[in-house]
Structure 1
C-alpha cells in the first residue's frame, strides 16, 4: 500500500558558507521519509526560517502527498502578509514536500513536474569575477585586470560556453572595484550612472571578451544598480558589444518594457518576484525576453505555473540560482521539465567545504549540467557535516558595514 507520508516533524538547519550561511528545511514523515529544501536569508530576506517555524505546526499530521492542499492552507492563513519573507517560507515548504512525495514514489522530482524534456541543461558561469573579488573567501582572488583576464580564459578552459559578470570600475593602476549602489556599495541613493562607471563597465566587458574569445556567450547583470535613465545610458554605451543578454531589475513593468524597446540586447529580469500575480504585469507589458524565476523563493511547483504563463506570452524563462548545491538540483529539475527554458545559472567558484556537506554534487560536462535520476532532488545535506561548520552570526546583507555615515 502506498505511503500516506504523514508529516511528523519540521525543523530548519543552517551552516556557514564562509561569507554567508546555507539554510535548509527538513520535513520528516511518520514512516521515516525525509524531505529537504534549501532557502536563503542572505539576499535581503531576514527571517525566512522564523516564518517557517511559526507556521510549521499547522502541517503536522497532514499528508505531504497533498502538497498543493498544504500550501493553499498556509497561503490562506498568511494572506494579509503574502509575498516577501512569508512567500519564501511557503516556497521552501513546497520544495521539501515535493522531495518527500518523489521519494515516497521512488522517482526523481522532475517526474512530478510532467517529466523531463531534456536531460542535459546548458549552464552559465555566474558571478564571474565577482566572487573572486572576495579575496578572503575565494582563491585565486581577483584585485586587478590580470585576475579578470585569468578567469575569462578559465571559463573556456574548463569547458563552459557562457559566463555572467557584473559592473566593475578600473582605476589608473588597473585595480578593479565592484559598483553596486542598489545594494549599498557605494551608498548612493540616486543610483546615478556616471561617466567613470560607463567607461569602467565597457573596459571590463572588452577585456573579458578579448580573453574569453568569440565563442563564449557573455551575460551582464546590472541588478538594481540604476534607474531607467541609468540603464539607458549603460545600454547605449555597450550597444555595439556582443552580449547574450543584459539582466536588470526594476519593479515597474512599463519602465522595463521601454528599456527593452531601446535595447539591442535581449533583456532578462524578474528574479525578485514572488507569485504568478507579480509576474503577469511584466508578461502583459512584453517587458522581458527572458523571465528569471527564483524557484527556492516561489516553490518549484508554483514556478512551473509561472513558466507556463510565460510560454503563453512567447517568453522563455531561466532560474535564479546562486545558492548551495541543493538549490542547484532543485533548479535543475525545474529546468529539465520546462519546455521554454533559455539557460541555467550556476556558480562555479565554490568554498572548500561545499563538497563535504552534500551527499551528491552537480555533474557538469562540456558546459551542461547532467540531470540525475536519483529519487527526490538527487542530493541532501549531511547533518553531521553541517554541524562541523556552524552558521556565521550576522551573515545577511543587512549586516554589512554602512558605506557612508551622515553627520548630524
Structure 2
C-alpha cells in the first residue's frame, strides 16, 4: 500500500487539511491546522512528503518516528502540526483498508458515546445567557466560556467582578446538572489566577483551563494547591515530555490538541501517561471535522476520556462551518449532549473532497488577534 501523493488544502475559516493517496486508491484525510500559521505548516508537510511518497502507508509508527526524530531540529507547534495531520491521514488509510474504525485498531471501544461541549460568549464574553440557551437547544449539556477579554496583570475589582458575574449567569442558566468550563486562555498572571480561582469555587466550574501561559507551566502547581476547582491545560503542549511536569504538578484534566501534539499516535501515549496520574483527557479541538473525528476515535478507545470540545457554531467560524466539509453530517450529530460511537471505517467520516478543493481555491489568511493593555503594551490573547 504505497503512498503516491500528499496534498494540502488551506480551507476557511482557518484550517489546513492533508490528503494522502495510495496506489490502491485508498485515501486518508488528516487535519494539520495551526491557527495563524497554517501556511508554515503546509510547507513542512510538503517537505515531509519527500519521505512519504513511495513508502508503505501502513507503517504508521515508523513514519511517526522518522518524521519526529530524524531531523536534528525537532518539536514545536509547526512540526507537531504537520506530523499530526499526516498521522491522522495514515490511521484513516489503515482503517479504511481494513474496513474498521480507527478505535478498533486502538484496542476497541471502551464506551458507546462521548460527551461534548460547545463555546459561548466569544473572545470578550458577552450575551452568555442567550448563547447557553442556544447550545442547550442544540442538544448539549456542557459549555465553555472565556473568563474575560483583556485582563489586567493584577485585575481590577471591576475585572474580577466581571468574571464572577459571567460565570454566575452561566451557572444560573445551566442549573446543577449541566456544566460550564471557564477558560483563562493564558490571559491571567499567576497572581490573578490564584486570586480568582477560589472565588469561583461556589459556582463549581467543570474546570479552569489554561490559567497561565504554557511557558509558565512550572508555576501551575501553586494554583493547583490553592483551589479545589479542577485545573486543565495542554493545548499548547506538544508531546509527552512537555505534559509530564504539569501532570506531576497535579492538574486534573489534560488537553492535548490532536492537530498539534503528534496526532492520534502521540495523544494515545499522552492519555496513557495521564492515566498514571489519575488525570482525565479532554482534547482541545476548536477546529474542523477531521480533527474532531480523530479526537473521537481516540476517545472511544481511551478509558480516562472526560469530554470533547467541538467548534460547531464557534465565533471563529466565519465563512465556513465544521460540517460544510463532510458528505454525511449525521455521524457528528448531538444526542443527549454526546456524539454516538462512530462506526464507519477509518476516521468514521466522509470528507467532501469537492467542497475542500473549492474552499482551497479561496484559501484563508487567518491571523491571531493582537491585543493591548490600556498602557499600549502587548496583552495575551
TM-score of the superposed pair, with normalisation by structure 2: 0.89
The alignment status of 1:159 with 2:129, answered yes or no, reads no
Q: What are the equivalent positions in structure 2 for 1:16-35 lying under 5 Å apart? A: 16-17=12-13, 21-35=14-28
Residue of structure 1 in register with 2:82 after alignment:
89
Q: What are the equivalent positions in structure 2 for 1:174-213 lying under 5 Å apart? A: 179-180=149-150, 191-213=153-175
SS in 1 for 2:177: coil
- Following the alignment from structure 2 to structure 1, what is the Cα–Cα distance between the partners of residues 370 and 204? 37
What is the root-mean-square deviation in Å for CA atoms of aligned residues? 2.3
Structure 1: runs of 5+ lacking an equivalent: 134-141, 169-178, 182-187
Q: What are the equivalent positions in structure 2 for 1:102-121 lying under 5 Å apart? A: 102-121=95-114
- Following the alignment from structure 2 to structure 1, what is the Cα–Cα distance between the partners of residues 227 and 362? 42
How far is the alpha carbon of 1:396 from its aligned partner? 2.1
Q: Deviations over 1:47-77 (max 9, x none)?
A: 1111111121111111111011111112233
Tell me: CA distance 1:259–1:403, structure 2 relative to 1, closer, same or farther (3 Å).
Answer: closer
Structure 2: runs of 5+ lacking an equivalent: none
SS in 2 for 1:297: coil
Tell me: CA distance 1:156–1:7, structure 2 relative to 1, closer, same or farther (3 Å).
Answer: same
Q: 1:9 aligns with which of 5, 16, 21?
A: 5
Q: Deviations over 1:180-229 (max 9, x none)?
A: 46xxxxxx7xx442222111111111122222333221110101101211
**Bigger radius of gyration among the two:** 1
Residue of structure 2 in register with 1:130 after alignment:
122
Q: Is the 8 A contact 1:95 1:300 kept in 2?
A: yes
How far is the alpha carbon of 1:81 from its aligned partner? 3.0
The alignment status of 1:273 with 2:261, answered yes or no, reads no
- Following the alignment from structure 1 to structure 2, what is the Cα–Cα distance between the partners of residues 207 and 77? 51
The alignment status of 1:395 with 2:366, answered yes or no, reads yes
Paired positions, count: 366
SS in 1 for 2:10: strand
The alignment status of 1:291 with 2:254, answered yes or no, reads yes
Q: Is the 8 A contact 1:155 1:212 kept in 2?
A: no
SS in 2 for 1:311: helix
How far is the alpha carbon of 1:130 from its aligned partner? 1.3
SS in 2 for 1:307: helix
- Following the alignment from structure 2 to structure 1, what is the Cα–Cα distance between the partners of residues 46 and 248? 36
How far is the alpha carbon of 1:268 from its aligned partner? 0.8
Q: Deviations over 1:12-49 (max 9, x none)?
A: 012222xxx22100011111110100121315665111
How far is the alpha carbon of 1:406 from its aligned partner? 6.2
Residue of structure 1 in register with 2:352 after alignment:
382
Q: Is the 8 A contact 2:34 2:259 kept in 1?
A: no
Tell me: CA distance 1:292–1:402, structure 2 relative to 1, closer, same or farther (3 Å).
Answer: closer
- Following the alignment from structure 2 to structure 1, what is the Cα–Cα distance between the partners of residues 268 and 6? 25
TM-score of the superposed pair, with normalisation by structure 1: 0.83
Residue of structure 1 in register with 2:292 after alignment:
328
How far is the alpha carbon of 1:85 from its aligned partner? 0.7
Q: Is the 8 A contact 1:75 1:82 kept in 2?
A: yes
Residue of structure 2 in register with 1:220 after alignment:
182
Q: Is the 8 A contact 1:46 1:85 kept in 2?
A: no
- Following the alignment from structure 1 to structure 2, what is the Cα–Cα distance between the partners of residues 360 and 213? 34
Residue of structure 1 in register with 2:340 after alignment:
370
Tell me: CA distance 1:79–1:103, structure 2 relative to 1, closer, same or farther (3 Å).
Answer: farther
